[in-house]
Amino acid sequence: MELQDPNLFRNQCFIGGHWLHADSGATHDVTNPATNLKIGTIPQAGATETRRAIEAAHAAFAPWAAPMV
Protein backbone atom coordinates (compact mmCIF):
# COMPACT_ATOMS: atom_id res chain seq x y z
CA MET A 1 0.00 0.00 0.00
CA GLU A 2 1.30 3.44 -0.89
CA LEU A 3 0.09 6.78 0.39
CA GLN A 4 -1.48 9.09 -2.15
CA ASP A 5 0.57 11.87 -0.55
CA PRO A 6 3.99 10.48 0.48
CA ASN A 7 4.67 13.68 2.46
CA LEU A 8 2.33 12.28 5.12
CA PHE A 9 4.89 9.62 6.02
CA ARG A 10 7.73 11.24 7.97
CA ASN A 11 10.97 9.49 8.83
CA GLN A 12 11.97 12.00 11.49
CA CYS A 13 11.19 12.74 15.15
CA PHE A 14 8.99 15.72 16.00
CA ILE A 15 10.78 17.45 18.88
CA GLY A 16 10.04 20.97 20.07
CA GLY A 17 8.14 21.90 16.93
CA HIS A 18 10.80 20.63 14.52
CA TRP A 19 11.20 17.49 12.44
CA LEU A 20 14.64 16.04 13.26
CA HIS A 21 16.78 13.03 12.41
CA ALA A 22 18.52 11.06 15.13
CA ASP A 23 21.73 12.78 16.23
CA SER A 24 23.70 9.74 15.08
CA GLY A 25 21.90 9.59 11.74
CA ALA A 26 21.04 5.95 12.46
CA THR A 27 17.68 4.59 11.35
CA HIS A 28 15.57 1.54 11.99
CA ASP A 29 13.51 -0.25 9.32
CA VAL A 30 9.74 -0.51 9.81
CA THR A 31 8.15 -3.61 8.30
CA ASN A 32 4.57 -4.67 7.74
CA PRO A 33 4.16 -7.69 10.04
CA ALA A 34 1.63 -9.27 7.68
CA THR A 35 3.92 -9.21 4.66
CA ASN A 36 7.35 -8.65 6.21
CA LEU A 37 7.90 -5.93 3.59
CA LYS A 38 9.73 -2.75 4.52
CA ILE A 39 7.34 0.21 4.60
CA GLY A 40 9.76 2.87 5.78
CA THR A 41 12.45 3.89 8.21
CA ILE A 42 12.41 5.79 11.47
CA PRO A 43 15.21 7.53 13.35
CA GLN A 44 16.98 5.39 15.91
CA ALA A 45 16.74 8.06 18.60
CA GLY A 46 18.63 7.62 21.82
CA ALA A 47 18.77 9.12 25.29
CA THR A 48 19.79 12.59 24.09
CA GLU A 49 16.88 12.95 21.67
CA THR A 50 14.51 11.47 24.25
CA ARG A 51 15.67 13.96 26.87
CA ARG A 52 15.14 16.86 24.43
CA ALA A 53 11.65 15.59 23.57
CA ILE A 54 10.70 15.32 27.26
CA GLU A 55 12.04 18.82 27.97
CA ALA A 56 10.16 20.25 24.98
CA ALA A 57 6.94 18.54 26.05
CA HIS A 58 7.36 19.79 29.61
CA ALA A 59 7.92 23.37 28.39
CA ALA A 60 4.88 23.19 26.11
CA PHE A 61 2.52 21.75 28.71
CA ALA A 62 1.79 24.85 30.82
CA PRO A 63 0.77 27.08 27.88
CA TRP A 64 -1.25 24.22 26.39
CA ALA A 65 -3.06 23.47 29.67
CA ALA A 66 -3.78 27.13 30.53
CA PRO A 67 -7.46 28.04 30.41
CA MET A 68 -8.54 30.05 27.40
CA VAL A 69 -9.70 33.55 28.21
25 pLDDT tier (thresholds 50, 70, 90): very high
Alpha-carbon span 69 to 67, nearest angstrom:
6
Better pLDDT: 24 or 7: 24
The answer on pLDDT for 17 being more than 90 is yes
Determine the pLDDT at residue 59.
Answer: 95
Determine the pLDDT at residue 1.
Answer: 58
Q: How does pLDDT run across 27-66, given as a tens digit for each residue?
A: 999 998 999 998 889 999 999 999 999 999 999 998 989 8
Longest Cα–Cα distance in the chain: 51
- Which pTM value belongs to this model? 0.73
- Give the residue among 22, 17, 20 at the shortest CA–CA distance from 59: 17
